[in-house]
Amino acid sequence: MATSAGSRLSLAERVRAPEAVEAPDDQLGLRWRPLGADDADAILDLVARSTAADRPMSAPSPAQVTDALDPARTMVMDSLGGFADGGDDDEAALQAVGVVYMPSGDTDIVRVFLTGTVAPAWRGRGIGSALLRWQVGRARQLLAADDRDLPARIATYVDEQMTERRQLLTDAGFRAKRVFQEMRRPVSAPLPEAPVSAGIRIVNWTRELDDEVRHAHNEAFADHWGSQPMSLESWRRVNREVEPRWSKVALARTSDGTEEVAGYAMTSRHQHSWVQLGFSEGYTELVGVRRAYRGHGIARALLVAVIRTLAEDGIDSAGLDVDTVNPSGAHHFYERLGYEREGARTLYTIEI
């Protein structure tokens, strides 16, 4: 389509979405269909087989899989599962899955994320690349159907040790965009003092505080790279396995005598991953401080409170991840609290 000098192409024009996206060829040995709520157990079985081979830093929990397949969701999503034909249960199992989803609430950029895996025994046959082509095609279609004229991104996360997956993405036109470092520390290690300014207190997270914490998060992360406002649905999915005692909120006294949320540390109990890890862990999904309250020692106090509570509950480790190019040097802040690098995942993207 020709455009005049200085004109700007719309997202639908820039994304170059295919008119139709075909599932991978049946000659690859699998039959393909969309996945639904009844496939949750099959997905978890495939995840377990892939996890045993890949040793990823994290894997979806039963609750997360159930949520993703919930027909009541407002998040735009599509999926495809590859099933083997055969006479025994093992051969008839789900052997490949690809998911494409578009979170709600994006305001500055429209994002579509890809996740998926192929069973270890079925790798090396071209299934992964064929499935990725389907995912990218569907991602482009979802972006083209969006009526917002914004920059767009197709994105996926890959653990650093998954070299074949990283090469597959590079061959498909993805480029490494950002690296997120996984960090953890034993809760038994000594903790620093963590005083906070007068008028600030640390409390356990409660359902009553939840929406105020969500709004505080959206404000605190408004100046972070790649962050977009989290809708109520997205917030609840990220914090699906939050443990109230392990999650802390900083409340600040205001001039009118009331209190407002100044910061937060939302920590989950991903008990499904403890066997793979070899120890129990509380994982801090989100930690942030609103700009007006930075410089008061709140982030340190929140994390120290999290770690102390984990120790009281007999948990072995505290974990989190951090953007390695965060301009505030957050990973150095965590290092001073005793967290150490345990691996990293890279965000690969196609920018549109």
Q: Are 235 and 213 in contact (CB under 8 A)?
A: no
The reply to whether 195 and 338 lie within a common domain is yes
pLDDT over 90 (residue 229):
no
pLDDT over 80 (residue 74):
no
From 299, 266, 297, select the one nearest 282 (Cα to Cα). Answer: 266
The reply to whether 314 and 217 lie within a common domain is yes
Among 173, 207, 242, the domain-final residue is: 173
Please state, for a pLDDT cut of 70, what percent of the chain lies above it: 94
How many CB atoms neighbour CB 48 within 10 A?
A: 12
Banded pLDDT at 326 (limits 50, 70, 90): low
User: In this predicted model, what pLDDT tens digit does every residue of 113-159 receive, in sequence order?
Assistant: 999 999 999 999 999 999 999 999 999 999 999 878 899 999 999 99
Mean pLDDT, residues 216-229 taken together:
86
Number of compact structural domains in the chain = 2
User: In this predicted model, what pLDDT tens digit does every residue of 248-285 receive, in sequence order?
Assistant: 999 999 989 899 999 999 999 999 889 888 999 999 99
Domain that holds residue 219: 184-343
Distances (CA, A) of 95 to 1, 31, 44, 218: 41, 10, 11, 38
pLDDT over 50 (residue 4):
no
Among 141, 173, 205, the domain-final residue is: 173
On whether residue 33 sits in a domain, the answer given is yes
- 324 or 248, higher pLDDT: 248
Q: What is the pLDDT of residue 91?
A: 52
The reply to whether 199 and 326 lie within a common domain is yes
Q: What is the pLDDT of residue 107?
A: 87
pTM for the predicted model, two decimal places:
0.86
CATH number of the domain where residue 290 is located:
3.40.630.30
Banded pLDDT at 328 (limits 50, 70, 90): low
Banded pLDDT at 188 (limits 50, 70, 90): very high
Among 115, 142, 173, the domain-final residue is: 173
Q: What is the mean pLDDT of the chain?
A: 90
